[in-house]
Each structure stands twice: as structure tokens, then as C-alpha cells.
């Protein structure tokens, strides 16, 4: 199969039209006519990921987060993005990113299903297929009511995480939770939507001090499971998708590892 064939398969399900306006999705480096026998999947196109893809003799690298977000006036070895572009070209690896189009048409539902939310709704609609709304995040009911500790343990178990950060009213130890929202990645912009849809608890990442305490003041508990911790699920999901829709292509995922250490 050619790169353009892989792109057509992806975009038939995860339309580029669903991407948010700020985003940059699609083929970023390489040739559409290149033959593909090996695809490497990762969350980010880091130096390490590109080295791993090259060592495995990958023909195509697909990531969730785009390597190129802003316009570039030059491609130089001394610039870290330029260095990565040069390495991809030198290794003849075509590079493709599927970001918020996948968030809207795949990641949100996947996260909601992993957390086993019942009667799911779109948290914030941003795209419509006919009359059907799609968008960032999901909200629904937990399988059973839980206290805060049980919710935290539940999220860690379902997302296979060692730890989470929590913003909550810890003096209200009797509070029971049943309505949960999830917004994988950076959920700062989803706080209002979660409050409007009467979420009691929001699972997301990248919540800072002010957003966290302001959410709690409005009755919304936050479980910050991390940007990576809520999005690494992309790799296995797209691996399964591509294996089901392609033939005679080897697909490998980057190892799962948080990009930081807690010391």
C-alpha cells in the first residue's frame, strides 16, 4: 500500500474536517506515493520516537500530536523541529499526524468506554455528521456511586496509571459521585462544559492551580490523570484500526512511558 492509501483509510473514518480550527493534521513530511510496509505509532514525534522508527525501518510514522503546529520559515539542523524533519527525510519516513480530528471522532468515545460511563453524551459538540453531534469529551453515569477515593482508584485502574492529581473539597468526605465527565489531553477549556452538563467530577489533564481551585469552588472535582495518561490509549486503538483495514503491513507502537518522573 502507498502512503496515500493509508491516508485515505484514516481520513474516511477520522475526517480532517473534524479537526479544530487551530490544528494542523495530515501528512506533514514525506511522499504520498511511497510504498508502506511498516508503520510506527506514537503519541509524539520526539527525537527518541523518530530514532526508534528509523531503527525498526519504518516507512511511515503516525502520531497523535502534530510535530509541526506553527508556520516555519526555515528547516535547520540547529532547530529541534528542523532536526526532526531532516531526520525523517534522511530515513525516508513519511510522517502523518491525526490530532483533534481523532479527539472528536475517536478519543472521546474510547475514553468514555474505558471508564465504562453509562448513557454517554458529547461533552462539547464541535462537529456534526448529519444530525449527529460529535465533539471533545464525554459525560455519563458511573456504573455505581463512588466516594472520592473510590473514584481515584477506579480511574487509575481503568487507565492503568500509578497516580493522579486531585482537586477536591477534601472536607466533604461523605460526597458520593455518579456523574463523570472525561476530556483526554488538556481539559482546561472543558471546565465550563462540564459544569453546564452537571458533571460532579472531570477526568482530564493539564489542570493548573487556579483552574483547579476555581473548579472546586463551583462544585466540580477534578482528577488530573495527565495529558499523556489520558491519551496514550491512541496507540493501541489506531494499531487495531489499521490492522483491521490494511493487509501485509507490520505495525508497531512506541513503548508506554510517562514523559516525566515524580521524584
| Residues 58, 119 within the same domain | no
211-259 pLDDT tens trace: 999 999 999 999 999 999 999 999 999 999 999 999 999 999 999 999 9
pLDDT of residue 51 exceeding 90: yes
Rg (CA), the chain: 19
| Angle between helix 233-245 and 3-13 (nearest 10) | 110
The per-residue pLDDT for range 10-32, each reduced to its tens digit, is 999 999 999 999 999 999 999 99
What is the tally of structural domains in the chain?
Answer: 2
63 near 43, Cβ under 8 Å?
Answer: yes
pLDDT at residue 183 is higher than 90: yes
With a CB cutoff of 8 Å and minimum separation 6, the contacts of 78 are none
* Per-residue pLDDT, 22: 95
Are 167 and 128 contained in the same domain?
yes
66 and 54 share a domain? yes
What is the β-pairing status of strands 165-167 and 60-63?
unpaired
User: Are residue 157 and residue 48 in the same domain, yes or no?
Assistant: no
What is the rounded average pLDDT of the residues 146-162? 97
CB atoms within 10 A of CB 247: 6
The arithmetic mean of pLDDT across residues 199-217, rounded, is 97
At 125-152, the pLDDT tens digits run 999 987 889 999 999 999 999 999 999 9
**Region 203-215: what's the mean pLDDT?**
97
> What per-residue confidence (pLDDT) applies to 192?
97
End-to-end CA separation in angstroms for the chain: 46
Q: Please, which pLDDT band fits residue 180 given cuts at 50, 70 and 90? A: very high
Is the same domain home to 78 and 147? no
For the chain, the average pLDDT equals: 97
- 223 conformational bin, left if phi > 0, alpha if psi -120 to 50, beta if neither: beta
The residue-averaged pLDDT of 191-215 equals 97
Average pLDDT over residues 55-60: 98
> For residue 256, is it within any domain?
no
Q: Which of 53, 80, 98 is the last residue of a domain?
A: 98
In the numeric block, the cell 511498516 is attached to 38
Q: Does one domain contain both 90 and 127? A: no
Q: Is the pLDDT of residue 91 over 90?
A: yes
Is the confidence at residue 169, as pLDDT, over 90? yes
Range of 80's domain? 3-98
Residue holding cell 508502506? 36
Are 173 and 138 within one domain?
yes
Last residue of a domain, one of 77, 98, 119: 98
Same domain, 48 and 75: yes
Work out the angle at residue 112's Cα, subtended by the Cα atoms of residues 185 and 161, and round it to the nearest 5 degrees. Answer: 60
Please check whether residues 115 and 181 belong to one and the same domain.
yes
Residues 93 and 163 both lie in one domain: no
Indicate if 57 and 131 belong to the same structural domain. no
Q: CA dist 250 to 57, 87, 88, 242, 244, Å?
A: 11, 21, 19, 10, 12
Same domain, 28 and 66: yes
**What is the reported pLDDT for 171?**
86
101-113, pLDDT tens digit by residue?
999 999 999 999 9
Burial letters 103-116, b for 16+ CB under 10 A, else e: bbbbbbbbbbebbe
| Helical H segments across 35-127, by residue range | 47-55, 80-90, 100-102, 108-114
Amino acid at each position: 500500500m502507498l502512503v496515500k492509501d493509508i491516508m485515505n483509510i484514516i481520513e474516511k473514518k477520522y475526517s480532517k474536517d473534524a479537526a479544530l480550527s487551530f490544528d494542523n493534521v495530515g501528512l506533514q513530511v514525506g511522499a504520498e506515493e511511497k510504498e508502506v510496509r511498516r508503520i510506527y505509532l506514537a503519541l509524539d514525534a520526539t527525537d527518541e520516537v523518530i530514532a526508534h522508527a528509523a531503527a525498526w525501518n519504518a516507512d511511515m510514522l503516525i502520531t497523535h500530536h502534530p510535530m509541526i503546529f506553527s508556520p516555519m520559515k526555515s528547516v535547520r539542523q540547529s532547530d529541534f523541529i528542523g532536526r526532526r524533519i531532516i531526520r525523517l527525510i534522511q530515513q525516508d519516513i513519511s510522517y502523518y499526524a491525526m490530532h483533534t480530528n481523532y479527539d472528536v471522532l475517536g478519543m472521546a468515545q474510547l475514553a468514555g468506554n474505558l471508564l465504562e460511563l453509562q448513557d454517554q453524551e458529547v461533552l462539547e459538540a464541535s462537529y456534526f455528521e448529519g444530525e449527529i453531534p460529535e465533539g471533545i469529551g464525554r459525560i455519563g453515569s458511573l456504573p455505581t456511586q463512588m466516594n472520592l477515593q473510590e473514584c481515584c482508584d477506579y480511574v487509575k485502574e481503568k487507565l492503568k496509571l500509578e497516580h493522579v492529581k486531585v482537586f477536591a473539597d477534601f472536607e466533604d468526605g461523605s460526597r458520593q459521585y455518579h456523574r463523570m465527565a472525561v476530556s483526554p489531553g488538556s481539559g482546561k477549556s472543558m471546565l465550563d462544559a462540564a459544569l453546564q452538563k452537571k458533571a460532579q467530577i472531570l477526568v482530564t489533564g493539564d489542570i493548573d492551580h487556579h483552574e483547579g481551585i476555581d473548579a472546586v469552588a463551583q462544585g466540580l472535582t477534578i482528577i488530573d490523570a495527565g495529558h499523556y495518561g489520558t491519551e496514550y490509549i491512541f496507540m493501541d486503538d489506531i494499531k487495531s484500526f489499521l490492522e483491521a483495514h490494511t493487509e501485509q503491513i507490520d505495525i508497531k507502537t512506541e513503548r508506554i512511558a510517562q514523559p516525566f518522573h515524580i521524584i
